[in-house]
Amino acid sequence: MLMQAVLSATNVRKDWSRFIDTVVHGRPLAVQRNRDILLAVSLPQALELLRDRRFTLRYEFESDGSISGSLEEIDLVGNASDLSALKRDLAQQLIDYSQTYIDRFELYFNAPNRRRHFPYVLHVLLLEAIEDVEALIDA
């Protein structure tokens, strides 16, 4: 790992408050316990990492006047009366899917067709409200 300092878990435990303060108010830090290494980042740092993880909505108008659409990055589809309602429906589906993904993380992350969903799922789960998720959907 090219990161300058990988801290030992023992040293981090000894000065937990300073570790947290450094991550929250300073910079990401890596911690090693035996052979396992984890990366600690603050919420703003994580959101910056994920900033470009957005969703592309492809949609078409149906003969009944409704709109059907799907997201390119994660295979979710919906149908609604208008574009705003379609985005809201897909945002709710993204929230539900993201919660299922994280609840069954080992299965989903290790499935070859779902591994690439992880940064998108994390981005959704770090947001505050459904409106924030809707804002990630580009029509």
Position 4 scores a pLDDT of 67
Cβ–Cβ contacts within 10 Å for residue 101, how many? 22
Note the pLDDT tens digit of each residue in 92-130: 999 999 999 999 999 999 999 999 999 999 999 999 999
Is residue 101 domain-shared with residue 72, that is, in the same domain? Answer: yes
> Is 103 a member of any domain?
yes
CATH classification of the domain holding 26: 3.40.1620.10
CA atoms within 13 A on the CB side of 87: 17
Query: Same domain, yes or no, for 57 and 77?
Result: yes
Assess if residue 1 is contained within a domain: no
Instruction: List, for the chain, all residue ranges whose pLDDT scores fall below the cut of 50.
Output: none
- Whether residues 73 and 107 share a domain: the answer is yes
Q: Total structural domains in the chain?
A: 2
> What was the pLDDT predicted at 136?
98
